[in-house]
Structure 1
Amino acid sequence: MSGVDKMKDKAQELSGQGKQAVGEATDDRDLQAEGKKDQAAGSIKQAGEKVKDAFK
Structure 2
Amino acid sequence: MKNFTDRKVPVRRAIAIMAKNNIQIYEDEAAVILDLLYRISKTYNLDKIKKSAT
Same fold (TM over 0.5): no
Relative to the length of structure 1, the TM-score reads 0.40
Greater radius of gyration (CA): 2
Q: Which has the higher helix share?
A: 1
For CA contacts below 8 A with separation 6 or more, give which structure has more relative contact order.
1
Relative to the length of structure 2, the TM-score reads 0.41
